[in-house]
């Protein structure tokens, strides 16, 4: 073919009227991948030291936001049958209406919070939350929080909605357990996006926008819009879309994903590569279909209960993996992203207001399981 086909990237594509050149909203973000936390009684101080070391590395790379894994302080204990309530309690951080973010004062996490504040780095991290209701009822959640260094406080909490696995242990010998339905209650906070202050320059504030006639004129100009997911949530398009319908620009997600389980089909390497494929597929599809960046932080490697995939990554609004971890150990996976790149997808292919036909979507919220068409 004689004619030179223009390369796909932007530099060759003639600017179209759609291509307003929005101001850049640059931000350096990172996934702090943790290697294995071997056992049920791995010393917390060791884990904290590893996390603080990753924060220090982040600071040297001018990273402003670090995402830590799901249940980041301990081994993935839902892989164990833990019948002793005392032993189970040690994995949980108490919280209540009086102190919804007590975790930041816990000896298990305060050194991390203090380091984040000192370095001026926002962090999100997952942990097991033991919530005491006003009436004294205790409810256990698989939770993540967002800590704003500039505000010196947590500004958001998310509780994992999609709990995989089962309630009753699988009593077959040698199987890998997945007991999140046993240890946690499905999250009750929904998928609430939130804005994070202090991360991008010249963010439009409500005060300055109050006399703007057209609210769409503020889209993509305020403080970054963030949503949090936890592990299995990333496999559910509904969860991503709830954030997409809030204009999300950055989804943060930590995970512990089994690489191999003896009860499933396939060799260790076959299962691990399939698990990595489905992890990437979920993250890339979610980002692309909601025109947002996403940051994914694994707890990876061989823990006493079994092995977990790595694959920590940063994905862009076109669904491309910008950067991915190269090891199964502690590793900072970082990139400078331009949140303005969300505007193309949000204004064209996924301009939800122009293209969605909600009159046909009722099954999505009226049905839980499959209802097949009648047999012929």
Total interface residues for ligand ING by CB under 6 A = 9
User: Would you count residue 257 as binding ligand ING (CB under 6 A)?
Assistant: yes
User: Would you count residue 179 as binding ligand ING (CB under 6 A)?
Assistant: no
Tell me the three state secondary structure of residue 237: helix
> What is the DSSP-derived secondary structure letter of residue 225?
E
Residue among 79, 124, 177, 232 that touches ligand ING (CB under 6 A): 232
Identify which of residues 243 and 350 has a Cβ nearer to ligand ING in the complex: 243
In this structure, what are the phi and psi dihedrals at residue 16, rounded to the nearest 5 degrees? -110, 165
Residue among 33, 104, 124, 258 that touches ligand ING (CB under 6 A): 258
Rg for the chain (alpha carbons), in Å? Answer: 21
Burial environment of residue 315 by CB neighbours within 10 A (0 to 12, 13 to 18, 19 or more):
buried
Cβ at position 104, least distance to ligand ING in Å: 23
Indicate if 134 belongs to the active site. no
Identify which of residues 235 and 280 has a Cβ nearer to ligand ING in the complex: 235
User: Would you count residue 164 as binding ligand ING (CB under 6 A)?
Assistant: yes
> Which of 30-38, 57-65, 123-131, 227-235 is the region at the interface with ligand ING (rule: CB under 6 A)?
227-235
User: Would you count residue 325 as binding ligand ING (CB under 6 A)?
Assistant: no
User: Would you count residue 271 as binding ligand ING (CB under 6 A)?
Assistant: no
| Helices 110-119 and 44-60, packing angle to 10 deg | 10
Indicate if 270 belongs to the active site. no
Report the relative pairing of strands 321-324 and 26-33 from DSSP bridges.
Answer: unpaired
- Active-site entry in 93, 115, 129, 160: 160
> What is the DSSP-derived secondary structure letter of residue 186?
P
Q: Give the CA distances from residue 205 to residues 186, 208, 219, 220, in Å, rounded to whole numbers and listed in that order.
A: 34, 5, 12, 12
Indicate if 160 belongs to the active site. yes
CA 73 to chain centre: 16
Catalytic residues: 70, 160, 231
The residues of the shown chain that bind ligand ING, judged by CB under 6 A, are 164, 231-232, 235, 255-258, 275
């Amino acid at each position: 073919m004689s004619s030179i086909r223009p390369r796909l990237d932007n530099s060759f594509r003639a600017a179209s009227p759609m291509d307003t050149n929005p101001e850049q909203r640059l931000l350096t973000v990172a996934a702090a991948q943790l290697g294995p936390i071997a056992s049920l009684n791995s010393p917390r101080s060791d884990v904290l030291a590893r996390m603080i070391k990753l924060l220090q590395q982040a600071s040297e790379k001018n990273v402003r936001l670090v995402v830590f894994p799901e249940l980041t302080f301990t081994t993935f204990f839902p892989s164990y049958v833990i019948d002793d309530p005392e032993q189970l309690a040690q994995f949980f951080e108490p919280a209540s209406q009086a102190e919804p973010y007590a975790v930041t004062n816990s000896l298990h996490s305060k050194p991390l919070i203090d380091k984040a504040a000192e370095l001026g780095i926002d962090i999100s991290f997952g942990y097991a939350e033991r919530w005491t209701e006003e009436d004294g009822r205790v409810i256990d959640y698989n939770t993540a929080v967002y800590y704003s260094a500039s505000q010196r406080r947590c500004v958001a909490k998310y509780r994992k909605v999609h709990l995989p696995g089962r309630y009753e242990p699988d009593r077959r010998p040698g199987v890998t357990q997945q007991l999140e339905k046993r240890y946690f209650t499905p999250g009750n906070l929904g998928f609430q996006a939130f804005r994070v202050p202090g991360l991008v320059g010249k963010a439009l504030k409500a005060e300055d926008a109050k006399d703007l006639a057209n609210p769409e004129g503020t889209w993509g100009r305020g403080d970054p819009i963030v949503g949090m997911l936890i592990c299995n949530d990333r496999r559910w398009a509904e969860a991503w879309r709830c954030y997409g319908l809030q204009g999300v620009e950055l989804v943060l997600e930590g995970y512990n994903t089994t690489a191999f389980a003896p009860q499933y089909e396939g060799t260790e390497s076959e299962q691990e590569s399939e698990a990595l494929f489905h992890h990437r597929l979920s993250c890339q599809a979610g980002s692309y279909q909601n025109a947002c960046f996403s940051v994914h932080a694994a707890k990876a490697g061989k823990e006493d209960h079994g092995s977990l995939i790595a694959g920590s990554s940063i994905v862009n609004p076109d669904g491309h993996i910008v950067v991915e971890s190269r090891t199964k150990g502690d590793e900072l996976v970082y990139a400078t992203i331009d949140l303005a790149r969300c505007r193309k997808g949000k204004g064209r292919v996924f301009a939800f207001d122009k293209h969605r036909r909600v009159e046909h979507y009722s099954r999505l919220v009226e049905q839980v399981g499959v209802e097949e068409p009648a047999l012929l």
